[in-house]
Amino acid sequence: MNEEKFTSKADLYDKYRPSYPMALIDFLWDKTHAETIADIGAGTGIFTKCLCTKPWKVIAVEPNSDMSGILRANLSDVEIVNASAENTSIRSGSIGMVTAAQAFHWFNREQFARECKRILTPEGGVALIWNTRTVTDMQTERNQIFLRHTGVYDSVKGNHNGSDRFSPEGYFSELTQIRFLNRMEMDCEQYVGCEMSRSYAPKNGTPVYEAMEHDLALLFQKYEQGGKVSIEYETECFLGKF
């Protein structure tokens, strides 16, 4: 797992990244009714917090100290494990469902699969989840800003070559896919902060950071209505078993 990608960005991540539809949590609850969930790559706990609306026992696994510090402050009642996705230290056969929201693309896929098989109960499953922005004129211009300043506009796809973030064929023996619309209304601070929380965005204190902030604020001004822009995400879930 790429454990230092969000070092010094945890505050931005926690404050500005989108949450997840409750319809997804209801779906997972109806499908699993697992007693214990391991939320792996939990970050600052955005998805973990959603999981806590159901009567599961939730264990949050996060290796990055900046992220886990905020996670602990946000969810003091949740068990937190400072470990990688590939070596969680969780007891074997103790987990009814593993979740990974906006995180799987950082994992070593084969090692993560082995670790899931070790910690899951015989009937346990894995939910891989992403918030993916829909294609709009504003999003296209946003991508151009990132390409101009960083050479990359999507860490999930790895670059700008259009490669898939996840191909389920051959990974799971059983698979259910589901999608939900997830619309976020953002003011300028929220929009720019969300974009600058990306793993591939420049870090604060550098000239390129200031230049990029400026260009993103201009983009916001171009598309805002009533002081806000509407950003549409598609929340996609792959629920599978090995």
Average pLDDT, the chain: 90
What is the model's pLDDT at position 59?
A: 98
Q: What is the mean pLDDT of residues 32-60?
A: 96
Q: Taking the alpha carbons of 34, 39, 45, 47 in that order, is the dihedral positive or negative? A: negative
Residue 101 CA to residue 120 CA, distance in Å, equals 18
Sheet holding 174-186, edge to edge: 79-81, 57-61, 36-40, 95-101, 120-133, 229-241, 174-186
Q: Which of 18-32, 36-50, 149-163 is least confident? A: 149-163
- Res. 163: pLDDT tops 60: no
Q: Which of 128-137, 153-162, 171-180 is least confident? A: 153-162
What is the model's pLDDT at position 176?
A: 94
- Res. 166: pLDDT tops 90: no
What is the model's pLDDT at position 196?
A: 93
Q: What is the mean pLDDT of residues 123-129?
A: 95
162 — pLDDT class (breaks 50, 70, 90): very low
Q: What is the dihedral of CA 240, 39, 10, 193, to 10 degrees?
A: 50
pTM comes to: 0.88
What is the model's pLDDT at position 206?
A: 85
What is the model's pLDDT at position 157?
A: 44
* 84, β-bridge pairs: 87
